Structure 1
Amino acid sequence: MGTIIWGFAFGAILQYARLNRFDTIAGMAVLQNLTIAKTISFAMGLGAILLQAEIYFGWAEYHVKPFILVGVVAGGLLFGIGMAILGYCPGTVVISLGQGNLDALVGILGGVCGSLVFAIAYPAMTSMLGPDFGALSVRSLLPGDAAFWVATSVIAILFMGVALFLHRLQPQGWRWLHAAMGLALLNLLLALPAVANHPMGASTAFPYVAMFLTGMGAESYWHKIAGPGAWELWFLAGAFLAGLVFSIYNGTFRISSVPELWQRYYGDNPRKRFFWAFIGGFMLLFGARMAGGCTSGHVISGGMQLAVSSLSFAVAVFTAFLITGRYFYRARGASSASSMQQSVGGNQIEAS
């Protein structure tokens, strides 16, 4: 029950700042909406200082993901491509489903299939994902306290500074900052052994569901993901409920198939949107399983721990994400481009 409550808080935070919306995430892919970049950057910076202090005083412990080179980089690239096409992350897609977005449901189905394919191929792929450099982090690379705290402070200030600089480029109100602080504090609470002793995460729920429903996949992989997968499934159940409850309360619940921003580029044909949502979801979760995490569990949670694997994953994700956005989304003429910019601008005002 407690995990559902924390998932509900997670969903509420993201929905409050519209971070789960296709138009927000895909808007970032075409550099029309910087909310995602600002929120993640500030959450990582603020969270890095607070989480390292929490661990330093012995209140929590590290959950650093190993730096498995090919898995992290190649998985990050696939994840970024899938995120740009789908327009959702493994955590945000269930919130959007709760708000009535049917393309999110198709993306979830694609993600479950991508996870299942990875689970089946896991024994053959294990040797291809390395080399494994272990659980590297700024803490392990700089064991001395003085050097560690200086480096941590510089990195944290840099991340928060980037977020504030982006805000100056594109002022959109301060909901993104409230959400960034909320995500950082939520992850701090989840890191406490008395609360969960489990950082935020979403993607492991997908192979858990896939393997549980089909009975397929490598037994060795099931033993690896069964525990965290069950926890993340309940966490996402809470996030889904947050999307449903708050959209009904706010009067914004709508059954829809094609997001507005997608229509600006590809029209309002649901079949085309569903096809690409499935492909995007498949790539998103296959990449997440290769890398061992997603935006919440790898980028934010791992970034707060200053894990080398997570920082490398973030670079790979956003590189592929922005390149895909540049070439996948192309306005159908000048009038469409102008209309799209006006639409996104309206969304930004609403988000503030």
Structure 2
Amino acid sequence: MLEIFVLGVLFGFAIIYARLNKFETISGMATLEDLTVAKAMAFAIGLGMIILPFEIGFMLATYHVKPFILGGVVLGGILFGIGMAILGYCPGTLAISAGEGSVDAIVGIIGGLFGGLVFTLVLPSIKGILGPNFGKVYLEKIIGGQVIIFYIVAVIVGIALMALAFYLNKLEGKKDKKWLYSGIMLGILNPIVFLEVVQNRPIGASTAFPYVADKIFGLTDNPYFLKIQKPGHWEVIFLAGAIVCAFVFALIKKEFAFKYIYPRWEKTKGNSKVKRLIYAFLGGFILIFGARMAGGCTSGHILSGGMQFAISSFVFAIFVFISLLVTGRLFYKK
């Protein structure tokens, strides 16, 4: 447990360092006014694409690819993007921002818990729209075990993504390199977690929500809870480390404060705290419901899956990005 907690602390620090958890940063991504998240994620995935395949090749780690369940990945990605744009957080950054005192993040967590609870309840009746299930599909499997070719492709694509991150930074014209350092930390941390001598699993966050909600409401005697019990427990400890990290750093930097409204929200939605909290709850609900439909979130699907060249994660990322931008354009319209 201590090791998981420490890994969560490191994850929290990597996110906090470039302010990737802030509402302004993520909502700015939705309106294309801030590319910090895109830059850090692109660099982290690119770096992980180079490191992780060699770990697996040397039998130091194994694949943990999420199955390509078409309906769930597409519909879940759309909902996730909508929730992320409205809320201004993703599952992992929700916990971190809550640790810094963001009240809207705390309410978003409550909304996420109800989203996880409702997903558990309705899952038996919506299974028909989640399929078809194409199984665990990833690049090395597709090219039929041509290891050398796979390594070459992994290095080329990894470098291309890291170059894309620098190109986006050039477009923004910013000199701040904190996004780069956060990207490096995330690109190294995830492969470390993958190691069999460490945790033999990827980083993740969204499973913690239905796990906690189902425990609170006593919905533990069903197939879905039994499926998520182990990863959900792991993610709760992991996120606890991230929350503590955020809280301690906020105190050290004298930045801990109960916050409701942020400049971009006030500029387009006004300064009503009640309105912001209502939307935070709804955003959290939609975010986690979408994540559970897709089987993962920003960290568990896009970051971890991208490093493994998982088709399900690439498709999820595409629909999240499109949905995020469309919702951002409409929702934050002045």
User: Normalised by the size of structure 1, how large is the TM-score?
Assistant: 0.92
Asked if the contact 2:220–2:226 (Cα under 8 Å) also holds between the matched residues in 1, the reply is: no
Equivalent pair of 2:49/2:158 in contact (CA under 8 Å)? yes
Q: Which residue in 2 is equivalent to 1:28?
A: 29
Structure 1 window deviating more from structure 2 (226-235 vs 184-193): it is: 184-193
Look up the equivalent residue of 1:195 and give its one-letter code. Answer: V
Amino acid at match of 2:284: G
Q: Specify which of 183, 191, 196 is matched with residue 193 of structure 1.
A: 196
CA RMSD of aligned residues (A): 1.0
1-side partners of 2:93 and 2:151: how far apart? 33
- Quick one: distance in 2 between partners of 1:64 and 1:311? 11
Q: Which residue of structure 1 lines up, in the alignment, with residue 160 of structure 2?
A: 158
Structure 2 unaligned runs (5+)?
none
CA contact (8 A) 1:138 1:306 kept: yes
Residue 307 in structure 1 maps to residue 310 in structure 2: yes
Gapped runs of 5+ residues in structure 1? Answer: 332-352
Instruction: In structure 2, give the amino acid aligned to 1:85.
Output: I
Mapped to 1, the partners of 2:76 and 2:258 lie a distance apart of 32
Structure 1 residue 154: deviation in Å?
A: 2.6
Question: Which secondary structure does the structure 1 equivalent of 2:309 belong to?
Answer: coil
Preserved CA contact (<8 Å) 1:20 1:88: yes
* Higher deviation after alignment, 145-154 or 59-68: 145-154
Runs of 4+ aligned structure 1 residues displaced above 6 Å come to none
Amino acid aligned to 1:181: I
The alignment-based identity, stated in percent, is 49
Contact 1:202 1:294 in 2 (8 A): yes
After TM superposition, give the deviation of residue 218 of structure 1 in Å.
Answer: 6.4
Q: Matched residues in 2 for 1:150 and 1:164: separation?
A: 21
**Corresponding position: 1:292 with 2:295:** yes
Residue 176 of structure 2 is aligned to residue 173 of structure 1: yes
Count of residue pairs the alignment pairs up: 331
What residue is the counterpart of 1:106 in the other structure? 107
Secondary structure, in 3 states, of the residue corresponding to 2:91? coil
Contact 2:219 2:225 in 1 (8 A): no
State the distance in 2 between where 1:112 and 1:175 align: 32
Q: How does 1:39-188 map to 2 (within 5 A)?
A: 39-142=40-143, 143-170=145-172, 171-188=174-191
**Which residue type is aligned with residue 37 of structure 2?**
I
Query: Could you give the per-residue CA deviations for residues 174-204 of structure 1, whole angstroms, max 9, x where no partner exists?
Result: 1101001100111011011221112100000
Cα shift at 1:147? 2.4
